[in-house]
Each structure stands twice: as structure tokens, then as C-alpha cells.
């Protein structure tokens, strides 16, 4: 593909992270790990949507899934290094929104 036909990095980035639910979940996982039900409550996503989006985010190497087999058995989700690198982007978007959106 020639350089003039390559999509720009911004478009490629939005393809990776740019759905409503991906953004909500990535933002919600900033700086902490959460169990599935915690994410469900904090994001208000349906179980089906949350499962699908978490799987997508794992495939894109943005979210880790860790199963703890102690009693009670639990599954925790957290940001990978790649996912955590988006935190400053979310902070900038939040600052922009506070300034420009009412």
C-alpha cells in the first residue's frame, strides 16, 4: 500500500478503541482491576455486551483477564500496559470536554 493510501494513525487508533462500549470500559478500568459484576454495575452494560466487548479488548491486548481460583473463584479484568497507555488520552479528552461541552 502506498503512503497516500494508508489510513492515518488517528483513524487506525479509533478502529482499535473507538466503540462506545470499548471506550466506557477502558475508561472505567483506569488504575484498578474489577470483577465482571463490578464492571457491569459501573458501566450499565448488559451482560452480553460486556462479555463481547471484554473479549474484543483482550484480543486487542488492551485488557487482561485473570482468574483467581481461590474460594470464592473470581475473574478480574485490568488494563494491560498497552491499555494503560491510553489513560493520559482519557485525561485530555476529559479536560477538553469540561472546557467545551456543557
Between residues 43 and 7, the one the model is more confident about: 43
The full set of domain ranges for the chain reads 31-100
Q: Would the pLDDT of 1 be above 50? A: no
Question: The whole model's pTM is what?
Answer: 0.84
Q: So what's the architecture of 31-100 in CATH? A: Orthogonal Bundle (1.10)
| Model confidence pLDDT, tens digit, residues 22-80 | 999 999 999 999 999 999 999 999 999 999 999 999 999 999 999 998 878 889 999 99
Give the model's pLDDT for residue 72: 84
pLDDT, position 69: 86
Residues linked to residue 35 through DSSP beta bridges, in sequence order: 76
| Residue 78 near residue 29 (C-beta atoms within 8 A) | yes
The pLDDT score that the predictor gives to residue 14 is 82
Amino acid at each position: 500500500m502506498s503512503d497516500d493510501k494508508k489510513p492515518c494513525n488517528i483513524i487506525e487508533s479509533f478502529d482499535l478503541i473507538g466503540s462506545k462500549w470499548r471506550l466506557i470500559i477502558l475508561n472505567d478500568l483506569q488504575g484498578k482491576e474489577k470483577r465482571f459484576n463490578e464492571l457491569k454495575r459501573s458501566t450499565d452494560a448488559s451482560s452480553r455486551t460486556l462479555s463481547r466487548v471484554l473479549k474484543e479488548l483482550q484480543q486487542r491486548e488492551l485488557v487482561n483477564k485473570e482468574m483467581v481460583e481461590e474460594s470464592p473463584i473470581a475473574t478480574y479484568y485490568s488494563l494491560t500496559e498497552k491499555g494503560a497507555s491510553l489513560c493520559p488520552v482519557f485525561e485530555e479528552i476529559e479536560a477538553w470536554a469540561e472546557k467545551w461541552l456543557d
